[in-house]
Every structure is written in C-alpha cells, then in structure tokens.
A and B are shown apart, each in its own frame.
Chain A
C-alpha cells in the first residue's frame, strides 16, 4: 500500500491508517440559471448530460474508465426517473457503466458523492462520477387523483359503454391539477414559512437578512468578475445562445431590498424574495477516485474527501438547522476544531436560515438544550465563509448544489492556501450534512 502523499504544512493530514484516501479529481457545473430562462425548453437529463460532458472535457478521462455514475435530484421528471442513466448515455459514456439516482432533498448530490466515497472505500469501485441536477423550468404537474383514477380505469374498460360511463363521471373538480409544492409532506409547511419562523426564533432581523443576502450577491459578483467560478462550463443551448455565466447574481441595495414585502409570513415576516434562494435550473458533476487510481491515471487531484456525517432533526421547528447539528459532529470525527477550518462553504437556503445556524452554533444554551453537547461549537468567522457567493446569489438547483459546494471548497483551498475546508447544508425533511475536505498537497 501507498504512504500518504500529503506533505504537512502547518497542520496534520487527516489521513487515517486503514482508510483509503479518496480524492476529488475535478468538478464542473453548468451555469446556474433562474428557472424559466434560457434552459426553459430543455429536459433535466440535458442539463446533467452537459455537466457530464463538461467533466469529460475538463478531465479528459476515457469514456470507459469510470466504474459507476450516481446523480442526485429532487423533483423527478417521470420519463427519466433514473436521470443518471439517461444523462450518462446521452453524454457518451460507455453503456457498460451502471448508473443510479439518489434523492435527499437539497443534499441529494452530497448523497451522490458520499455514496461514491462509500463504494470506493469498500473497494467496489476506483473511479466514480457523482453529480446532481435540478430543472425547475418544467416540473411534473399532475392530474388530480380522481382524474388519474378515472383515466386508469378507462384503460381497463372493455366496452364502449363502460368507457362512456367513465368519461361521463368526470366532473369539473377532476380537472384541477396538482402542483408540486416546496412544502414538507409531514408538516405541510412551506420551507420559506419555516425559515421565517426560524429567523424569528433566533431573533434574526430583516435588516440582518438583507445585509447577508447583499453580501452573498456582492461576493458572487466579484468572484464571477474575477473569473474565480472556474467550475462553470459553457453550454450551447440548442436553438439559443451559448450560456457561460450564472444569471441570478444581482447585487442590489439595502434600500431596494427593504422595499420588498415578506414572501411567506404576512404582514410581519422577514423572509423576502431578495433574501431567499430562488428557483434554479442547473447541473453539476465531480470525478471521485481512490488516490492510487487518480495517480495511476496521471491526475493531480484537487482535494481529499474526508469525514462526512448526516444528521436529522424535527422537520417542523428545526427544519433548516442541519448545519448546526452536522458541523460539530463532523469536526469531532475529524479531530478538528472550528478554528482549524480555513474555508467554509455552507448552503444558503435563506439568509435567515444561515444567520439562525450561525447563532445556534454560537449558543451554549442551544448546544446543551437541543444537541446534548456540553458547549457550543462556535460560529464560523465570516471572513472564511462563502467568500465566492452562495446559493442565495449563485442559485440553488436543489439536486446540484452539493457538488458546487465541494468543488468550491477545493478551489478556494487552493486559491487561499488553506488546508481544511468544511461543507455543510440543510435539507427538507429536517436533515443535514457536513463534510471535511482537505487540500491536496501542491
């Protein structure tokens, strides 16, 4: 077996004896676009396919050198429910590479990546592509249950009379469609509403939220202008122009943002369209390998993927607190303290959600009362936090965000000269995830 390649800088490597070193070779994504814009006429697998092709181009990996492909997605297009397979075939990967799709709300592509890590760690695979895709420009709008039942019975009706009788039973109420809602199934509460309550519970003001959202947009704009968002691959959209930039980054002013009315809790709520992430189309992909395999193929990996955790809590009142629970847990697993982390990339569902998590992590009372911990983990310093923008500004294609976070950590570690990065995200269902990423030695 191989000795760890990490040359320790100031900090120790997180490599563990008996545990395989698993690396991120590279990561790419399509530009994230507000839904209903340039991607409007595509299908989800088109986006995923583009990300996969981008990864092929970027890494130059042979189309049959990958052992497995995994994709994460949230709202499924029924025709391509295993979107990983459809996209892989369309991207020109060998048809001998199995592919499956996972779903875990906003941490779906995190789940895709950690599934890949698990497969490599278990020795089942050496090279896996993981990714995520979300396409909100077209979502399945279904017939009502009553109508579906009638239509299914119609299929089975043998005689004309029976068919006519079924058709005759259709009432106007049957025709009302069912729209997918960004609401919890268990509580029937929309996520924005829950975020507003969360912000109120932690006493996060409207002003704080607007300031945070403005920061996100400003940082994203700067990163975009400085060309730091190198994970973005251009996309020639059929029948339309080449898209090469995220289109939801809009630094506004506090005055402009203050004019907006609350979007969920009316009239006194604090969560608005401007301080929330918006519906986004986009896809991402990463290439994950065992370190040996990467080196054998001649790659210079970007980062090690180290410990990760999944957490879950009350989907009603703690829906979006996943990062608060996951952060101390993953740090403990890695033997790190918050201060050891150089780069933080947290998923920004809502400004109020991020700020609530920061407050929760900074509260001894919360740590003791709800997390069964003896003390707080501490709040990540903002000068290390989401410095290239976040989901609020770059956009949040639910299933694709996780890969963006991991790739961004790798890129930032390199750019900023850091060694450890931390990814954390919340997800519907009251779940959460965190992962520690270590820079690959230069």
Chain B
C-alpha cells in the first residue's frame, strides 16, 4: 500500500531487512523515535508517531522500530494483549512511504518489498496475543493493511477517520496482503469496490461493512483538548476490547443478520464468484478502456487467492505489485500525486490580508459555483448580479449544491443552513466596501469587464484584490481599465466549479506578489489545485484546448461523426470525448474562443473551419445549455443522440480525408499532438513556470488522460523524437498546425532531456 499524503522521505538502505519477532532483544536502550509503548496492566499500548511529518507512513524507520517494539512486547509474558494506536490527531497510518517504492529500480525489488510487508502482517495476523488497532484519522493503504491484519479494530467516528486502499489511484494494488484479506473480511463486492475505486470509507460505513468492529464517538471539551481526550478515550475503549478478547468476553466473529448470512452463503458458490469476477472485469474494462493495468491485476490477485489458496494469492499479489510499480501508468499517476501535493502549496507565501469577505459579480454557473465553494469554507460571500432572475438562479444553484450534500448525508441540514448563512445575494454594490477580494464572472466581453471593473473600483477599499474569471481574455487588457493594476489578477475556474479541482491563476507583469499570494490562498482554501501561469491569449489551459478542438472540427468535417470522435478521444484516455466536451463548454464559447485565439496566433490555430461552429450557433445549437449541440439533450442526460440537423451543416463544410493520416490512431495523434505541442510551447514561452503545473493543469482542468500523467510526462514517456516524427508526417499534409515547437525539437534531438526526472 501507498500513502496518499506525503510522507517523509527516508533513504533506502537495501542491506537492512527487518522482520518481526526475530527473537527477544537483549538490548533495551533503543532510541525509538517513531514507535513506543507503555504497559497498562496486562495490555501493551503501542503508540506510533512520525516526529518528522504530520502523518505516519510505513517508512523503513517505522517498520524497523515497530519490529523491535513488537518483539519486546511478544517476549514479555506479563503482556496478554496489545493495542496499536497513533498519537497523531487525524492520522492512524496514511500508507506506505511512497518514496520507498519509487526508490526501487526493478520489479523484483518491489516484489521483495511487498513480500516483506506480507510477512510482517502475517505475523501480526497470527500473533498469539490479540492486537487491537485503534483508528483515529486516515487509515489508508499499508495502514489499512496493517489494521486488517490485527485481530480487532476500533475506530473513531471523526470526520477525519477514513479507511481505504487508494493504491489503484497510483496505478498500484494493495501489496501487503490487502487483496487477500479484504475479500474475506468484507466480501467480494465490497472489497472490489474499495480496491478498484480507491475511495475512502468513513467510519460508520466501515462498521456496516464489517471493516471495523466498534466505533467510538469523538469527544468535545472536557478537562483536556478534544483531540487529545478523544485519542485517550479511543485508547481506553481499545484496552477494554483487548482485555475482552483475552477473557473471551468479546467475540471476534462478527454478528451477522439473516440477510448477511444468506449473502455469505450465496457468495461461497464458485459460480457466483465467477459471475462477480466477469461482471467486475467487464465494468473495469468499460471504464478504463484497458488503459489502466492496476484494476485488472487487482482482480487477478483476488481470484488467485480465492481459487488457488493463500500461497498463490500472496504470490500473485507481490509479483503483480512489483510489475505495476514499474509501469509507466503507475509512474505517471505517482507523478500526478506529487504534482498535486506541490500545487496544494502557496509558493507566493502568506498574503498580507486573509480574504474574509469575497464579492462575486455574476451569478451564472461559474459565479454561483465559486460562491458555493467559498461559503463552504465559512467566508462571507456576496453574490451580485444585475437581474433578480439571474440572482435567483445563482442562489438556487448554491442551495442545490449544498442540499445534494445533505441528501448524501455528508452534511446535516443544519450545517447546510449554517453554510448558506454566509451567502448574501444582491443586485447592488452594498457591502463591497468591506470586500477583501472581488471576483468578476460576468460575460466574456472586454467592454463589459471594463465597465464592472470601474464600478467596482469606485466602491471597494484600496487593498481589495480584483480578480477576473475569464477563459480567454488577456488579463492585462482587462487591467488596462484599472487604477491599480497591481491588484488585478486572473482566476480561471472550471465548470462545474464544485466538482472541477483546478484553478488557473493568471498574473500580469504588473500583478503584485501579494495579490497573487492572496488569490492562491483563496483558491487553496476553496479546495482547489492551483497553477499560476503567465498572461497571454488563452493563458495555458484554453490555449492547449483550442488547437485540439480546431482539429476535432476538422475531423468532423472529414466525415467522422460526433460519437466516433468521442470514442476516439475517450479511447485515448480522455474522460470526456471532444464533441461532448464542446457541447459542455458551449458551442458559442468554443467559437468565441477559437476566433479570439485564431486572431492572436494565426493559422497555427486553424484546421477546422470556424464557420461550422458559427453556423451551429446561428441555428441555436449552443451545446448542452441550449438543448442541442453536436448532440440532443433531453431531460434524461444519459443516452443522447446525435443532433440530426448537424449532418446538413457538416455536409456544407465537408472536407476529403487524406487516407495517409486518417486512421483511428492517426486521428488520435492529430488531436493529442496539437494539444501537447501547444503545452510545450507554453513552457518555452514562459507562460508556464514548470512542467509540473503544466501536467496538473492539463489533467485536472482539461481531462488529459491521467495515466499519461499530463502532456509533459507523455512526451517523456512516449519519446519526443517519436512525437516529432508523427507531427512531421501530419505537417506535410496539414502545414504549420503540426510544426513542432523548438523545445520539443530540442528534446527530440537529445533523448536524455526530460521534463521530469
């Protein structure tokens, strides 16, 4: 298993191999820093806490000390049972040390790592003294595998308590017995759900699933801090459980109701199991398009254990773990993970003034979305529009977003109301004199943006930041109307704001560092992954998207229908097909964007005929919002049909495909290479500060295939030379739209040059 929170990096020393209970230690003067224990009567309470990190990870140091402590505890006959607990509030064990796996050079090396983990946990599982895992906070990956090897689990109901196997999100599998123990503990369907989605399971659900035996409430104020006392209470309950197990007052087998018994019985039939495997395999293939190897390997490991016994199962697990760790998919996903961690930090420092009141202009989809993610963080939020109708719709959107969470029981209706009390909807500028930041999300028209900027500057205090939410207009052009351009910044949110993780912040030459720091701080508070890019037409994300969409239009003109276009793009790994994406974005927005960027960048942004989009807009086919675009949208969003009137439009802009560059694969590479080349050009021109933000922006903002890790990681893995070669073929047919940029050519020339080390 692997941590999803960044553990401290520990130097790997391959000569050191530790196993648990390797004999009773004679030396008792260990300088333990990560693991310690206290004997309470006949119970040993083992406490873990990594002194160098906010979270505990199963680093080599942690494993070494745990082994030593366990040895001592097992060798002490006065100790009858054990409680394992973390002294860190909010974290049990967040997983294995990801760097430990990354430091490995071969499949065999990772397999050995997995086998050692398996051995450690096997000894835990077979311990003659019952071990109770007392869980408060994240119990993920290797941490979960540790916990499920214990005889009993008690968890707090804290919102921070989360159990999960997130390895799949890093292209890996639970490699320390997880694929073998989980199915037995919680049944095949639940085990597959956990391991294949990697989602976190909250305490109450974990109890229902049989993943933990008992729940403990979180405590409020008492004679100590709530966090401290809650851990103490958890420990007290866990000690009682440990004694209860020894005294046989507490049964280790879970109580099952009739339904569960029937279910378990049904599941024991191999034909039922086989049915589950094939159903799950089909579902996985459909969702991953076969592009992600980890899910299939997880199924394989589970199957091996269930059908051929534990030895085969554990062997399959360790071998597949080794194989997966070496796949480019896993490396790309791990890279994204690191990138995401990096983009959750504010490299511009702490702003002078925290945003306590935010005003948003425009209550449309984006404006209301920004309002929702802001009120959720208890920031006073003013949502202003110019008509009551628009305001009403925006306020309803915020309410609905929160109410949906109430329906899913992630917040109570009271919490919903309390969150909503931070929102003020209005038609005037009252209260703007207290705003620390204003984000405008009005119509994408420079004249309108200038108008609101001037109106706003007349009412806001001097230190208030003015942020413009725009997908394409240059920030410096907007700032031209400002009296204080150092306070003007771009904040490009993605729709739907409450779901999309990315925030692209755009700074001009004049934007002050503090203004940027303030925008980043707000974005991070809103839960966003933030990239900060330079000003220029389309900034980074829109600029990458535009050439790909231009190519998509050309592909349509060549007679490929939207469904086929979508399947080619999703087949490459995009979560949403190109035609659907355009519909979601809005055909009018796409046309507007294409026109603007076409003017700025010239023929390089050509390809498809812009008139096709304009004709669609003229006919009212503006995409999903208008009910018709490339597809028709009825009340049911799922099964959608191609807009029948599209054929006629496409017919009038018909182009003959050149068979030399029109195979399915060619079409895919035509789309992707234009995207990637533009991304590299953004780095070359300094729009991007580094490739990491480029990868994060493309994946989290535009759905660039995650398993490829982003355009830069893609170039590194695919080979710049190979990409350049493909582009040159396309260039011969289509011209400068496929001319590789200088930086890409440099990388092609020198294979040792990589964007990521």
Binding site for B on A (CB under 8 A): 185-188, 193, 196-198, 200-203, 265, 267-268, 314, 316-318, 321, 356, 359-360, 363, 365-366, 369-370
Contacts and interface: CB of A to CB of B under 8 A. Distances in A.
Query: A-B pairs with the 8 shortest C-beta distances?
Result: A317-B220, A201-B222, A201-B219, A186-B414, A202-B222, A268-B237, A197-B217, A200-B233
Nearest to B229: A201
Contacts of B221: 201, 317-318, 321, 366, 369-370
A185 B415 CA distance: 11
Given A267-B214, A268-B237, A268-B240, A188 B412 contact: yes
B75 interface: no
Interface in B199-229: 214, 216-224, 226, 229
Nearest to B412: A188
Interface string B412-451: 1010000000000000000000000000000000000000
A295 B376 CA distance: 60
Contact of A203 (B214, B223, B240, B414): B223
Contacts of B222: 198, 200-203, 356, 359-360, 366
Nearest to A369: B221
Interface in B163-209: none
A198 B218 CA distance: 10
B178 to A, nearest CB: 28
Given A203-B222, A318-B221, 14 more contacts: A188-B414, A198-B220, A200-B217, A200-B222, A201-B222, A201-B229, A202-B222, A203-B229, A265-B217, A268-B214, A268-B216, A316-B220, A317-B219, A366-B223
Contacts of A200: 217, 219, 222, 229, 233
A202 B214 contact: no
Contacts of A317: 219-221, 226
Contacts of A356: 222
A236 B220 CA distance: 46
Contacts of B229: 200-201, 203
Nearest to A184: B414
A200 B220 CA distance: 9
Given A187-B414, A201-B229, A359 B223 contact: yes
26 contacts: A186-B414, A187-B412, A187-B414, A198-B222, A200-B219, A201-B220, A201-B222, A201-B229, A202-B223, A203-B229, A265-B217, A268-B214, A268-B216, A314-B220, A317-B219, A317-B221, A317-B226, A318-B220, A356-B222, A359-B223, A360-B223, A365-B224, A366-B221, A366-B222, A366-B223, A370-B221
A317 B225 CA distance: 12
A103 B217 CA distance: 30
B153 to A, nearest CB: 14
B666 to A, nearest CB: 56
Interface in B212-262: 214, 216-224, 226, 229, 233, 237, 240
Contacts of A365: 223-224
B132 to A, nearest CB: 13
A33 B182 CA distance: 53
Interface in B594-652: none
Interface in B35-58: none
A187 B223 CA distance: 23
B537 to A, nearest CB: 50
B207 to A, nearest CB: 12
A212 B240 CA distance: 23
B242 to A, nearest CB: 13
A321 B220 CA distance: 11
A200 B221 CA distance: 10
B414 A185 contact: yes
A197 B234 CA distance: 12
Contacts of A265: 217
A81 B144 CA distance: 54
Contacts of A369: 221
B47 to A, nearest CB: 19
A193 B217 CA distance: 9
A359 B224 CA distance: 12
A366 B222 CA distance: 7
A202 B219 CA distance: 9
A200 B240 CA distance: 14
A193 B224 CA distance: 20
A266 to B, nearest CB: 9
A302 to B, nearest CB: 38
Contacts of B226: 201, 317
B220 A197 contact: yes
A50 B214 CA distance: 49
Most B C-beta atoms less than 10 A away, residue of A268, A314, A316, A365: A268
Contacts of A314: 220
Nearest to A193: B217
B255 to A, nearest CB: 11
Most B C-beta atoms less than 10 A away, residue of A185, A187, A197, A316: A197
A62 B224 CA distance: 56
Contacts of B414: 185-188
B154 to A, nearest CB: 9
B247 to A, nearest CB: 14
A321 B222 CA distance: 10
A316 B219 CA distance: 10
A319 B200 CA distance: 31
A415 B223 CA distance: 36
B432 to A, nearest CB: 32
B219 A197 contact: yes
A416 B221 CA distance: 36
A366 B229 CA distance: 13
Contacts of B219: 197, 200-201, 317
Most A C-beta atoms less than 10 A away, residue of B220, B224, B240: B220
A363 B223 contact: yes
A267 B219 CA distance: 16
Nearest to B154: A268
Contacts of A203: 222-223, 229
Contacts of B224: 365
Most B C-beta atoms less than 10 A away, residue of A198, A200, A363: A200
A166 to B, nearest CB: 25
B552 to A, nearest CB: 48
Contacts of A268: 214, 216, 237, 240
A142 to B, nearest CB: 18
A375 B537 CA distance: 63
A363 B221 CA distance: 12
Contacts of A193: 217
A356 B219 CA distance: 13
Contacts of B216: 268
A363 B412 CA distance: 33
A360 B222 CA distance: 7
Most A C-beta atoms less than 10 A away, residue of B214, B219, B222, B233: B222
Nearest to A196: B217
A116 B473 CA distance: 67
A108 to B, nearest CB: 22
A325 to B, nearest CB: 11
A191 to B, nearest CB: 14
Contacts of A359: 222-223
Contacts of A196: 217
Nearest to A189: B217
A267 B237 CA distance: 10
Contacts of A202: 222-223
A264 to B, nearest CB: 10
Interface in B496-530: none
A369 B219 CA distance: 16
Nearest to B417: A186
Contacts of B220: 197-198, 201, 314, 316-318
A145 to B, nearest CB: 13
Contacts of B218: 197
Nearest to B241: A268
A204 B90 CA distance: 25
A316 B412 CA distance: 13
A196 B217 CA distance: 9
Nearest to A198: B220
